[in-house]
Amino acid sequence: EDQVTQSPEALRLQEGESSSLNCSYTVSGLRGLFWYRQDPGKGPEFLFTLYSAGEEKEKERLKATLTKKESFLHITAPKPEDSATYLCAVRETSGSRLTFGEGTQLTVNP
Amino acid sequence: DGGITQSPKYLFRKEGQNVTLSCEQNLNHDAMYWYRQDPGQGLRLIYYSQIVNDFQKGDIAEGYSVSREKKESFPLTVTSAQKNPTAFYLCASRDSQGRNTIYFGEGSWLTVV
């Protein structure tokens, strides 16, 4: 059974204070690891897909990396508008479904 | 504009009543999904469909039903058998070409009163 664990559950940063969110996963074969951003009361917004260990993707202040057991979402010099819940999900090679972690709630204070 | 449209955004239901949530997509995606999200928690899969006239149960299908008569539409019915239906419901669809990314609608809030 696929498992996805995100840490920390909540993270509070000052504006400009860089940090990383962690996503640990267990799958029989990884077809893709996905990062989403979710604002309160909204649907998740797609950020990145990573397919193989060593892969990296960047978008503005966000950078996602992948190893064989975990993924990190690095946030460089965050701004208050980066405050949201960040969700990680995996899709295994034999399936059509995504399995989600419980998310990290990020708050960036001005 | 291409996208996934869920309606209604907010719905109130009396106990014992069935309710149907609508999900329509114009992205030409084959696969569609329904997830449930409870406050402060991750997403749990209710049902998914990889092709028209076919669907599979997810992890929490009890008390729910779906149909997939058209490629664009994947309605979810929350039946009176669902013990705790109050939640945020998310519909999604997957691009089976290229990147295989799953995209989400804006969600529907269901409250049982």
The residues, ordered by sequence, that sit 6+ positions from A39 with a Cβ below 8 Å of its Cβ are A45, A84, A85
Average pLDDT for A46-53: 94
- Looking up tokens 């980066």 gives A82
pLDDT confidence band for B2 (50 / 70 / 90): low
* Predicted pLDDT at A97: 83
Would you say B46 and B64 are in contact if contact means Cβ atoms under 8 Å apart?
yes
| H-helix or E-strand spanning residue B13 | strand B10-13
Higher pLDDT, B80 or B87: B87
Would you say B73 and B20 are in contact if contact means Cβ atoms under 8 Å apart?
no
* Predicted pLDDT at B95: 80
Mutate to test the interface with B, among A97, A105, A107 (most CBs of B within 10 A): A97
Average pLDDT for B65-93: 95
Would you say B32 and B9 are in contact if contact means Cβ atoms under 8 Å apart?
no
Q: What does each C-alpha distance from A12 to A21, A73, B88 come to in angstroms?
A: 12, 15, 25
* Predicted pLDDT at B40: 78
Put simply, the answer to whether A98 touches B102 (Cβ < 8 Å) is yes
* Predicted pLDDT at B74: 98
- Looking up tokens 């509070």 gives A12
For A42, the closest of B31, B44, B106 (CB atoms) is B106
Average pLDDT for A88-98: 85
Would you say A16 and A78 are in contact if contact means Cβ atoms under 8 Å apart?
yes
Q: Is B8 helix (H, G, I), strand (E, B) or coil?
A: coil
Q: Which residues in A have their CB inside 8 Å of a CB on B?
A: 4, 31-32, 34, 36, 41-46, 49, 87, 89, 91, 96-103, 105
For chain B, give the percent of residues with pLDDT over 90. 78
Put simply, the answer to whether A46 touches B48 (Cβ < 8 Å) is no
Average pLDDT for A79-88: 97
Distance between CA atoms of residues B100 and A91, nearest Å: 10
CB contacts of B43 in chain A (<8 Å) are: 44, 87, 89, 98, 100
Distance between CA atoms of residues B66 and A80, nearest Å: 39
CB contacts of B42 in chain A (<8 Å) are: 4, 87, 100-103
For chain A, say whether B27 makes contact (Cβ under 8 Å): no
Residue/partner pairs of A9-14 with CB below 8 Å, 24 or more apart: A9/A102, A9/A103, A9/A104, A9/A105, A10/A104, A10/A105, A10/A106, A10/A107, A11/A104, A11/A105, A11/A106, A11/A107, A12/A106, A12/A107, A12/A108, A12/A109, A13/A75, A13/A78, A13/A106, A13/A107, A13/A108, A13/A109, A14/A108, A14/A109
- Indicate whether B98 pLDDT > 70: no
Distance between CA atoms of residues B89 and B105, nearest Å: 9
CA-based torsion, B104, A24, A27, B42: positive or negative: negative
Higher pLDDT, A50 or A98: A50
